[in-house]
Structure 1
Amino acid sequence: MAIAPDHIQQRAIMRVYSAYRFALAGAFFVALIFGPAKSTLGTSAPQLFAVVASAYAIFALGLLVRHYFMTGRYSPTQLFFEFFVDIGAIIFMSYCSGSADSGLPLLLIVSISAASITLSSQLSLAIAALATITAISEVTVHTLYERVGTQQFIVAGITGMAYFSAAIAIRYLSARIVKTQQLAERRRTDIEKLSAINQRIVQRMQTGIIVMSQTGHIKLINAAAQELLDIRPALPDQDQYAPAVLIEMAKEGINHSRIIAAGPQHLEVHVNMTNLEAHDHSDCLLYIENISKITQRAQNLKLASLGRFTASIAHEIRNPLSAISHAAQLLAESPNLDSSDTRFADIIQSHALRMNDIIKNILELSRGRTPQPQRFAISEWLQDFIDNWQPTEHCGLSMSLEKQSEFDIVNVDRSQLSQIISNIADNGARHGAAEHGKAELLFRCHSSPRSGAVILDIIDNGAGIKPEDEDKIFEPFFTTQSQGNGLGLYLCRELCLANQIHIYYQRTTLAQSCFRLQFSHPDRGNLLD
């Protein structure tokens, strides 16, 4: 099957050929004016040669300008006409030279070659046939006037064979080149599509991907890695470098992994590094995974074990504890007790209730109910929470909601979210009232500047957590209060893990006490995505 050359390739070839045509016509014109008197050019019909050479030079100049400024497609008729004029002009000038040794007909091989590249097979062979006919016709006219011998017909025939051979050979090579170019273009398009698909896959992966040099210069990074490591996107003309801990990993060895605390939230991520090549100075490929899902699976196993353990002892503990509490209550109502004995009875009852609360919280953890996530606007939900919620201890309380982002959609379990926020709000109200006599709670709803995921800050006016205790507040049974059981924030963290919420404590820019809940993206379901 014949393969048509691309129009861009046609334009490039015709521009080169038009420059050649103008140089050839200019050479004829200069030779006519400044050439030696005994030159073979135009010896038979000098006036006709001058007219043809001048007209051909003007024709070549016009086509040179046209080809260099034309941007549209060529029509086969237009190109055929140009090559036809080339054949006619050269044969006329060969006839006017009157000598069989002028060699001008051989110049047509260049024109035939250009026609074979830019025209179809039929038209290129037609150009070769016309060139052959004109060459034989020239010899015939010279023979009629006895200017040359009849043996020149053999030379004309051989020249015609050269025309056809050049046309066929160039056409074959041109078709092969065009076919190869088209194949290369298809391969380039396929590679570009695959590259775009791979880039999209890499960018949408929940696993962070980084390709960097040994010095930490980042060459490729996806959105997940930027979010997990808190790396801001670099400007087009700005270099981007990895955190120092990753650069240290790159210098330590070829293949190893480590769990690091990334970003200002100190999120635990697992980094697996490998060199792209065998030598020590090659680029590094890093896979960065948020281990919250691994932690969640481990937590599920832990809760399952805790559930079996709790179920086996809850009955044994609660029955005697209930008896102790009931007996203490009856004892406190006895009229025969003095004030000190009544105080001891109250202490027994208070600690019995505290133990009962501990067992209740452990049972809630052990049940490990699977979250039932729902999509909803958290700002509307928070407004309902503010209108209906009351702290466990009666105190002056002021609550307000501040919405800083239009996007506030989350995908979590409503009841478990209510448990989380109730526990944090209750702690904040108690500490705020203890510090200032009146508690103030601010719920600030905004979104991540990069991913758009919702962030909720719960700010209170309490004294806050001491810096040395910030890493311990989510541990079970850790408490700074004499009446606390140390399971409230631990329960909050476990429920957050179950709902793909990242919870941590921080101070605001005004040094206010703040618990931050960073929700997963409602569409992608990836923590911090």
Structure 2
Amino acid sequence: MQTTVSPRDADQVLHRELWLFSLYRVLEAALLVLVVFGPAADVADPVRHELLARSVTLAYLFFSLVMLALVRRVELRTLAAIGVAGDLFFGILAMHAAPLAAVGIALMLMFNVGAASLLLPTRLAALVGVAAVGGLLGEYAWSRVDMDMARSFAEVLMFAIGYAALGTLMNVLGRQMRESYELAASHASENEHLAQVNELIIRRLRTGVLLVDGQGRLRLANEAAVALVGDVGDEESGYRELAVAVPELGRRLAEWRATGRSDDSPLRIAPDQPDVIPRFARLQAQSDQVLVFLDDTSLVSQRAESITLATLGRFSASLAHEIRNPLAAINYAVQLLQESDDIRAADRRLLEIVHQHAQRMNGIVDNVLGLARREPAKPEVIDAVDFARHFVDEYLVSHPIEGDTITASSTLQELPALFDPRQLHQVLTVLVHNALTYGRMPGQPARVTLRVASDNGRPVLDVLDRGPGIPEGVRGRLFKPFFTTSHHGTGLGLYIARELCRANQAGLDYLPTAGGGGCFRIRMSALGHRLTDERSMDLAAG
């Protein structure tokens, strides 16, 4: 973010120079008063027009005091322009009234012209130079007419050239000063903005960050670190010591300072906080201040798990491709053998076992490939009630369930929802298959119900069973990939089902039922919720 600095902002830093310039003007006026009214007037008699000299010097002294008083009340450029105009006016009159002091007055005016050119923009500085040269030439012509002897024209010409050259040089220097200030101010604003962004990022980091000085005192901490160790203190009340706030962390820091080796074992700072892994780094190469990073072990585990799952997914997909071809050959060979009339009954039973397990292996391969190359969701507006009924009808046709039952129920005639129909079918297939397999009491048929209802305006689709339920210790790992309690499962079905729900901005959770059994609930997006989510994403992107 770049901030533009106006020339007027740059002028603000020159107010101190303007005050010194105004103070110098008062000194000039006081010297002129001393020349006209002091002892030197009786000895050297520098004054030719006494009344004009006294009037000009007193008026100039009053003018200089007024300009000094207005330094902080009037804009810099305006005050500088008025001031140098008054300097030239009163100075030229004083030179004419006191010709013997004219050289000294001209020299003093040279500083006024240079200072004004430094403070004013180029056009006004050029106008000041022209006015100074014109004033000198005009006073020279006036002296030729008014006096028997005027000053040398060469002297006047040298002063005029000096005014023009000094004014040009000082104006160039002033312009460079303003440009340098504008550049510095712009960089300072950018640095301040970047510092604020960095501070915000560090403050919002989930990793705790502590700054410890050479005496082991806590100087700074971000929000995550404050939640672990508490407030660090301040200059008035004193900074807390790390060895007092967290003794074990203080011991590890002292060991790291002494040996350069750190203990990377997890550390529990507070009873209600997760374990952290401390890391140490010097703020600068030769600094005694140390940054302490407190990494949440749960975040480290999640990152490691994500990397592992990504690697395992790629490996599983490659392996699944290699397995599918020989598996297809096995299935085809079994089908050919089953069609043969020379197979005995006992061997035919073995073929059925081979075919059954080959089909199971093919299902595992399909699950792994589906996990590796999951296609993006294409949500559509569907009627959840009608979809559940059609799903039950299709499942009963394609999956013989013998004595088990599957029903769809709802108190609503229709319930619009947003979901990819193909992916919702895949999710329900996984949930119903699990309910038929595990959601039954020993020796009893499975009874599975697909119940559609509205929960605070959001469509929900429950897959209910009458089985023994899922133990509480297992529920937290239900949707973990490759977690299963069965010797015949892959642990991917529920994981893929939840990922498909998330892709459709829906949720999948397990809810225990009071009367026994279990319930897998799909919370789908209603049309209104979807539009709200899209507006939120648009606003965030904008």
Q: TM-score range by the shorter chain?
A: 0.5 to 0.7
2:224 to 232, 240, 255: 240
The CA deviation at 1:296 is 3.4
CA distance in 1, matches of 2:286, 2:203: 16
Alpha-carbon contact 2:209-2:291 (below 8 Å) kept: no
Q: Which has the higher contact order (CA 8 A, sep 6+)?
A: 1
Q: What are the equivalent positions in structure 2 for 1:406-445 lying under 5 Å apart?
A: 414-428=421-435, 434=441
The CA deviation at 1:38 is 1.5
Who is 2:84 aligned against?
83
CA distance in 2, matches of 1:65, 1:276: 46
Across the two proteins, how many residue pairs are aligned to each other?
Answer: 431
Tell me the C-alpha RMSD between the 2 structures: 6.6
1:499–1:508 Cα change, 3 Å: closer
Alpha-carbon contact 2:410-2:452 (below 8 Å) kept: yes
Alpha-carbon contact 2:460-2:523 (below 8 Å) kept: yes
Alpha-carbon contact 1:423-1:492 (below 8 Å) kept: yes
**In the alignment, does 2:386 pair up with 1:394?**
no
Query: When the two structures are superposed, what TM-score results if normalisation uses the length of structure 2?
Result: 0.54
- Most deviating of 413-422 and 133-142: 133-142
User: What SS does the corresponding residue of 2:470 show, helix, strand or coil?
Assistant: coil
The residue type equivalent to 2:160 in the other structure is: G
The CA deviation at 1:88 is 1.0
Who is 2:54 aligned against?
46
Of Structure 1 and Structure 2, the greater helix share is in 2
Alpha-carbon contact 1:505-1:515 (below 8 Å) kept: yes
User: What SS does the corresponding residue of 1:217 show, helix, strand or coil?
Assistant: strand
**In the alignment, does 2:319 pair up with 1:311?**
no
CA distance in 2, matches of 1:282, 1:33: 67
**In the alignment, does 2:173 pair up with 1:162?**
no
The residue type equivalent to 2:405 in the other structure is: H
Q: What are the equivalent positions in structure 2 for 1:350-369 lying under 5 Å apart?
A: 355=357, 358-359=360-361, 361-362=363-364, 364-365=366-367
Alpha-carbon contact 2:481-2:492 (below 8 Å) kept: yes
1:285–1:17 Cα change, 3 Å: same
1:294–1:188 Cα change, 3 Å: farther
Alpha-carbon contact 2:116-2:125 (below 8 Å) kept: yes
List per-residue Cα deviations over 1:143-169 (Å, max 9, x = no partner).
Answer: 776698846x66544433432332232
The residue type equivalent to 1:50 in the other structure is: L
Query: When the two structures are superposed, what TM-score results if normalisation uses the length of structure 1?
Result: 0.55
Q: Which runs of 5+ in 1 are unaligned?
A: 69-73, 204-208, 220-236, 258-272, 332-344, 447-453, 524-529
Who is 1:103 aligned against?
104
Who is 1:373 aligned against?
376
The CA deviation at 1:371 is 4.7
Who is 1:298 aligned against?
315
Alpha-carbon contact 1:371-1:416 (below 8 Å) kept: no
CA distance in 2, matches of 1:416, 1:377: 11
The residue type equivalent to 2:333 in the other structure is: E
Q: Percent identity of the aligned residues?
A: 12
CA distance in 2, matches of 1:477, 1:138: 104
Who is 2:172 aligned against?
172
Alpha-carbon contact 1:441-1:458 (below 8 Å) kept: yes
Who is 2:209 aligned against?
217
Alpha-carbon contact 2:92-2:136 (below 8 Å) kept: yes
Who is 1:132 aligned against?
133
The CA deviation at 1:469 is 8.0
Who is 1:67 aligned against?
75
User: What SS does the corresponding residue of 2:223 show, helix, strand or coil?
Assistant: coil
Q: Which runs of 5+ in 2 are unaligned?
A: 212-220, 229-248, 265-279, 396-400, 526-532, 536-542
Who is 1:486 aligned against?
489
CA distance in 2, matches of 1:191, 1:503: 44
List per-residue Cα deviations over 1:427-455 (Å, max 9, x = no partner).
Answer: 34776675998857678999xxxxxxx99
The residue type equivalent to 2:379 in the other structure is: F
The CA deviation at 1:314 is 1.8
- Most deviating of 5-14 and 163-172: 5-14
The residue type equivalent to 1:424 in the other structure is: L
Who is 1:23 aligned against?
23
